[in-house]
Amino acid sequence: MAESDRVFVRGLTSEDYGMKEQRRHQLDAPRVRAASGEDHGSVTTWDSSGDNSERGISTWTHIEPADDPFLTQSLNVYFHDFPPNSSNRGHGHQNEAAFYVLDGKGYEIHDGQRYDWEKGDFYVVHTDSVHRHFNPYEEPATVMIVKAKPMWMFLGLLQQGKSYNPLAKGELPDFGERVEWGQIWTDGVLDRKKVVGKNDAPWEMTPLGKIRTFSSPERTDVRMFSVDAFELEIPAGSHSGKSWKMSDEILHIVSGSGYSLHWEVEAEIDDKYYAHIAKEPKRFDFKKGDTLYVPHNTISQHFAADGTPLVMFSGQNRVYKHLGYDKVAYLENAPEYEGAKVKSGAAVGA
């Protein structure tokens, strides 16, 4: 493999049937990635479309399968920094991408249609979309991208590239005329939202805490099928609920600072699976601009610790909900939640 080759899917091998060594390696990796502009450790810079740098858009990775130490390939996380009056070339890929706007404003062109966005919005590059990103304004913009790309690639959904006309170049002589690609899409997707703004995601109190949901299985109005996303707001001096789920998760620190406690869960494989929860948690401190990683099958709880509210953006791979792990167990509710009992459900933080 050439030095410049990008790792889309990481291989997994073992000399025996157990995978304890691989899991331990991942659990021992650092779980907080530093904010942009600081020492990123294993994070590198790459050019996603071949000419972003020429048009002024810089792209830097945060979490990806090529990382060493390796965290996850359930999710890819990276950032676009848009200088004023910048754009990139049109390109397309089969995988979806979820965008969360950290600063500034701009717009997209997806399949010839314009979608405007601004700070605090969540927007979607949908399946099989030919898209371009634009910041035509005098202020810079920054967006965070979360996607389950390795899953799509592993499943053989590989058709991607820059926007061009292959017929004009004589590259498809053995194929017929164009037909509509979208005839194999899920019914009704063209009527779903591509941009979820502030007024489209109301705050609600849940066992996890105060959240607003951008994307989830219950949000059938949003054109996103592979990444679930929400904002979590924790009051100053307070903490989230204590939750246990099978999927892993990234949490970007939008504002405030604090720490997260993680309890590992060990499997005892006897007459059936039994769970054993670590007696003591591990602590991970973070600040604004950092990204926290919560591994698979981990119990976590987040704390606001600097005298101001803590706001976190969560991204998770939805595929786990289709594999029999569609619930979250709340071992402790957020203090602000007024529910009468601890709930376990798929709608909140799953």
Q: Give the model's pLDDT for residue 345.
A: 44
CA distance 197 to 56: 26
CA-closest candidate to residue 251, choices 306, 294, 213, 189: 294
Residue that the structure tokens 């029999």 belong to? 324
CA distance 164 to 14: 42
Domains of the chain: 20-345 (2.60.120.10)
Radius of gyration in angstroms for the set of CA atoms belonging to the chain, rounded to a whole number: 21
* 248-286 residue pLDDT tens: 999 999 999 999 999 999 999 999 999 999 999 999 999
CA distance 247 to 230: 15
Q: Give the model's pLDDT for residue 305.
A: 92
Q: Give the model's pLDDT for residue 163.
A: 77
CA-closest candidate to residue 186, choices 240, 132, 134, 126: 126
CA distance 205 to 53: 42
Instruction: Name the DSSP letter for residue 318.
Output: G
pTM of the full structure: 0.90
CA distance 64 to 62: 7
Q: Give the model's pLDDT for residue 173.
A: 80
Q: Report yes or no: 312 and 293 within 8 Å, Cβ to Cβ.
A: no
CA distance 193 to 126: 10
Q: Give the model's pLDDT for residue 38.
A: 57
Low-confidence ranges of the chain (pLDDT < 70): 1-4, 36-56, 164-170, 339-350
CA distance 315 to 291: 11
CA-closest candidate to residue 146, choices 228, 70, 89: 228
User: What are the structure tokens assigned to 47, written together?
Assistant: 């050019």
* 1-29 residue pLDDT tens: 344 678 889 888 888 887 888 888 899 99
Judged by DSSP in three states, 173 sits in: coil
* Sheet with 141-147, edge to edge strand ranges: 58-63, 76-82, 141-147, 97-103, 122-125, 195-196
